[in-house]
Amino acid sequence: MTTKTLEHLAPLPHRLARALMLTAALALPVQASLSQGAAQPVDAGAAPVPDGSPLRLPALGESAAEDFNVATERRLGDQIMAEIRRDPAYYDDPVLLEYLQSLWRPLVAAARARGDIDVDTGAQFAWEAFLVRDKSVNAFALPGGFVGVHLGLIALTATRDKLASVLAHELTHITQRHIARGIANQQRQSLLSMAGMILALLAASRSNNVDMAQAAVMGGQAAAIQGQLNFSRDMEREADRIGYALLERGGFDGAGMAAMFEMLDQANRLNDNGAYPYLRSHPLTLERQSEARLRLQGAPSANPAVSPWLHLLMGARARVLMDTSVVALRRLQELPAVRAGQGAPERLAALYASALASSLLREHALAGQRGREARALLAEQAAPDPAVARALWLLDAEARMAAGDMAGALQRLADAGTRWPDAQARRPLLMMQAHAALQLTGAAREAALRQATESLQTWVAAHPQDAMAWLLLGNNAEALGLRLRALRAHAESRLLVGDLTGALDRLRSGRNLARSGAAGQDFIEASIIDARLRELEARRRALIAERGGRIGDRPGDRADRDDGDAPRR
């Protein structure tokens, strides 16, 4: 299944663990809800939502499609994601996220082409993959079309096809609405367990035999647990089968799934220390491994000539970023002796990891040296992969920024944009340019800030859910003195991390600033702020009405707010 049990959430930071526990409460939490007694639904009524009010889950009936519909599932997913986005474990590394998206997008397109994504889910679900900064090997699906991937999983996989097989599996959990189906099944199993408890009470009242009562209770629990386990195994088989089809249709090698199963099984056997929570939530049975191998019989290998270089570089980046302690960085900084049979791709990945680790350790000379060695090694190849060359170019810009050479970093980023003008690959360049412009000093600062601001404005118009882009846009606009644009951008950023009150506060400040005339004559931005303020205030009133006249815990955060100006007296 796609959920984690409580014992494996403990190491995660607070908000992420809490959000994932809410997901576990929704989708067959066998150990969480059954290990300490009768099968009772986890009380999610007290679970917080982004604005601080209690989360009231929808009433669930027999039919997941009727009661836990697509809109409800997306809304719940947004609430969970708002908690996750505010957690330090939520990690937006533009370079790694871009690579993850390059694997995710073809799989989503394949699911659409197969008809696995219907009109409702296609329009309302997010279809978003995101990163979790954790060194454990894991991935999970959330309601509403979100999939989280731990950096440890990226670091473990040696090919893109293995990582894509996990993404395809999790995507299938979403397209087949396993969470919604799990909720309906959980309710049926809870009723079955309750029936067992009633039988136990009847037996105890008639015979005064405590042992008989306990046996009946245990029998009811066992029946409920077995029913949930059977349902979970059916879901896993379905996710394997459809996921394999998505792999092939998305242009990946279907053998990646079987290879991933074998790697996970072998790694867990050698090192069963809790570092593989994915195997707890997705039990790797012999049946699943056998079926994965059988699917390969007679099937041609898809795209066997795909270069492994880029994936190895991204795996090296994940290894560095998932644990930035000095001990871990020192270990990755030191180049190991070249092992027999180690090829150029592996050596390049080691150089990449060493350069990035050295940069994080602020040993900038060594970082530059390792970067030059990596570029020289790539140049020796007969046909260097352009995507790998671009990754090394971005690494050099990143190292220059860490060393304080903002002008040099901006020049490298400008060159990268000219050399590799792919529009889908623009995000890392934009994010780095915005960071560098903010730290630049001297006469060139204003021009760099203005260019970054305009580029980010264009980006968020096409990608309005990009919280980091809105935040950087606000910071760059503020540095330029564009106060209305900065307030509006910061409001959008706060909204995307679930802080509705913070977003409203910033929009109100912008409206008051525009009315005072202190921000100049930016009529377009002022009108946008007015429109967004009305929209969010309407959303707030709807939330207040839904939650009984209370939306938060802060002073003045009550239902009697009038358009956000001041509390009524």
DSSP, collapsed to helix, strand or coil, labels residue 558 as strand
- What is the arrangement of strands in the sheet containing 139-142, beginning at the earlier edge strand? 90-91, 128-132, 146-150, 139-142
Beta bridge partners of 142: 146
Which amino acid, 547?
R
Residue 500 domain-assigned (yes or no): no
∠ CA 380-335-149, rounded to 5°: 90
Residue 523 domain-assigned (yes or no): no
Nearest to 406 by CA among 435, 426, 430: 435
Residue 352 domain-assigned (yes or no): no
Ranges of H-type helices in 68-209: 70-85, 94-114, 119-124, 151-156, 160-175, 178-207
What integer pLDDT is reported at residue 311 of this predicted model? 96
- First CA to last CA across the chain, in angstroms? 52
* Buried-state track 443-455, b at ≥16 Cβ within 10 A, e below 16: eebeebbbbbbeb
DSSP, collapsed to helix, strand or coil, labels residue 146 as strand
Q: What is the DSSP string of 492-549?
A: HHHHHTT-HHHHHHHHHHHHHHHHHTTT-S-HHHHHHHHHHHHHHHHHHHHHHHHTTS
- Integer CA distances (angstroms), 236 to 65, 93, 278, in order: 20, 30, 12
User: At residue 130, what are phi and psi to the nearest 5 degrees?
Assistant: -140, 165
Residue 201 domain-assigned (yes or no): yes
Q: Let me know: does 253 contact 247? Beta carbons within 8 Å.
A: yes
- Distance CA(534)–CA(556), nearest Å, equals 19
pTM: 0.78
Number of domain units in the chain: 1
- Integer CA distances (angstroms), 184 to 30, 31, 138, 456, in order: 14, 18, 26, 43
Nearest to 133 by CA among 165, 158, 97, 160: 97
Beta bridge partners of 550: 558
Beta bridge partners of 128: 146
User: At residue 499, what are phi and psi to the nearest 5 degrees?
Assistant: -95, 80
Per-residue pLDDT of the chain (569 residues; tens, 9 = 90+): 433 333 333 345 556 655 555 555 444 332 232 233 333 333 333 333 334 333 333 333 334 445 578 888 898 888 888 888 888 899 999 999 999 999 999 999 999 999 999 999 999 999 999 999 999 888 888 889 999 999 999 999 999 999 999 999 999 999 998 877 776 655 555 544 544 544 454 455 445 555 555 555 445 544 444 444 344 777 888 888 898 899 989 999 888 887 887 777 766 665 555 566 555 556 555 666 666 667 666 565 555 557 789 999 999 999 999 999 999 999 999 886 555 567 899 999 999 999 999 999 999 999 999 999 999 999 999 989 999 999 999 999 999 999 999 999 999 999 999 999 887 679 999 999 999 999 999 999 999 999 999 999 999 999 999 999 999 999 999 999 999 999 999 999 999 988 999 999 999 999 999 988 876 667 889 999 999 999 999 999 988 887 765 554 443 344 334 444 433 33
- Distance CA(64)–CA(58), nearest Å, equals 11
Residue 144 domain-assigned (yes or no): yes
∠ CA 264-4-189, rounded to 5°: 115
Residue 261 domain-assigned (yes or no): yes
Residue 155 domain-assigned (yes or no): yes
DSSP, collapsed to helix, strand or coil, labels residue 117 as coil
Residue 319 domain-assigned (yes or no): no
Residues of the domain holding 104: 6-33+40-295
Nearest to 192 by CA among 237, 159, 228: 228
CA dihedral 456, 458, 462, 468 (to 10 degrees): 10
